Chain A
């Protein structure tokens, strides 16, 4: 599969934007400017950027919480997301939700519930609707390695396989579910082996190689779009921060982090772009500047935005409200 130069540069841009945006979130969290918690995808950005960028405009994403790349690629702007972290009225959810609990159906993004793998059945339902209506659309759902232990993961995989639904399941296998390492999560070597039980095609890819993830996702989407049913893609990567930004992750051996640091997805991509003479150093510096500006503007927007009215929290429970007399 040939990838156009402009797409490769966009992949690089979104990797950078995701990394820098979340770096800034982390700083703001440590400065006490962000309430609650802050979760990042540091070290695993290639996953959300790769599978997110491979989607078509009308497709649907049912992401999880280390999927910042997907939110940005789908068109939910850094401004709206930053305002979400600040709990502002202009945030994606108007202050009703915080941080990565993002969803906007207008951009084809289903909201993320904290209960991991909940979005596997939900994404499956979107795919079911596409199939029933004969639409050439696909859904993609993502969870982490830990989420694959839950029943909802298996119920969705099974249902999608039985009905050959147009969905691709992604697993961001970042080695740790909070503090629990893979060896205490499952006995299998590759998460992708879980798909065997459902006779579902699967693939294990380098989760730090955005091009590889993009290609695998794109291929799987095309299979699904053309009636070939679901695929499971395991992206093997490493969570380089704690579970959330308060967590120093002392339970992760330092040597493991050192080893994965060399395989950083952004360094990987820079090497790829240079070696294949797709981009020069100056091009990449230009992207860095563009990203920096975008984040500064997002932060300024969030700072300047108004807070919601306290009573706004009492509104919006129902889509069809019942008259209270």
Chain B
């Protein structure tokens, strides 16, 4: 075992997959000579050369389309959005081309789009967004969002080996803040499987990404007052691991859904509907959603703190549910 950060886990996954499979390559803005805006691909240009760590013009739609075309003829491209926010420029290629290729005409499109997302870094409206919701309603895509370094590495490896387009949401706030013990040897984390981050019996907190850590903080406080929280880390957003969600709800009978994405039409709305449809008889109280307010991400630290869900909100929600 060794200890590495969330960012190092992403870097290791890329490095190991590129070394293992010559069809894997990286493309995007400033990923080569510069090593990426967040330094994820530092040293890759020297190691793999300019054609496998390809600096592209500033054109997200262009290089995403190119990734798709390369994938259709046998490559496994990993496209980097410098910030997830810029993925909107590639929306058409992802939604109309990548997501529909296999369904429409049977062609596999094994691309990974890395999307450094999320707030709490004072990035303002264009460098902080959660983008998973934009693509959540698009059949044919897969979306993953690791919360730990272990999962960051294992899920990225799975995404690269997967034959479908995968949007890999890597939370910027976690890059250098989270460390994990991970095995020395090769491992993967399967797409489509949630994990129980903390096992508990009184209430289920269903979440993903950086909010897993917010939930964990809240759970620690609640444990002190005798409340046992179960934290479900979804890991894969699309398709949802319905079974893991429902199993937890059937056990605890109380649900808090927590995400950093804005509330309306978000992933939490779908999880909530899923529980209502399938576990209504098991519920002892209302499903509570905690999410960002329906505004762009504000810049000022005071305002951003209101925007990003905080442990206190989770504690309040759980305490409210415990009265049922």
Contacts and interface: CB of A to CB of B under 8 A. Distances in A.
Interface of A: 60, 62, 92-93, 96-97, 101-105, 110-111, 113-115, 118, 120-132, 139, 151-152, 155-156, 158-159, 162-163, 316-320, 322-325
B73 A96 contact: no
A44 B51 CA distance: 38
A111 B104 contact: yes
A97 B96 CA distance: 13
25 contacts: A96-B103, A97-B104, A104-B105, A115-B97, A118-B93, A120-B65, A121-B62, A122-B66, A122-B68, A124-B62, A124-B66, A125-B70, A128-B54, A129-B75, A132-B51, A132-B70, A151-B61, A155-B63, A155-B65, A317-B139, A318-B164, A319-B102, A319-B108, A322-B191, A325-B243
Contact of B56 (A101, A159, A319): A159
B69 A129 contact: yes
A162 B72 contact: no
Contact of B65 (A111, A156, A163): A156
A159 B164 CA distance: 24
Contact of A126 (B70, B110, B191, B239): B70
A101 B108 contact: no
Interface in B135-175: 139-140, 142, 162-164
A317 B239 CA distance: 11
A118 B192 contact: no
B104 A110 contact: no
Contacts of B92: 115, 118, 152
Nearest to A313: B103
Given A121-B93, A132-B52, A318-B140, A110 B62 contact: no
Nearest to A165: B66
Contacts of A104: 105-106
B59 interface: yes
B73 A129 contact: yes
A110 B51 CA distance: 23
Residue of B105, B106, B191 contacting most chain A CB atoms (<10 Å): B105
Contacts of B52: 132
A142 B74 CA distance: 22
A155 to B, nearest CB: 3
Nearest to A318: B164
Given A103-B104, A113-B100, A318-B102, A125 B71 contact: yes
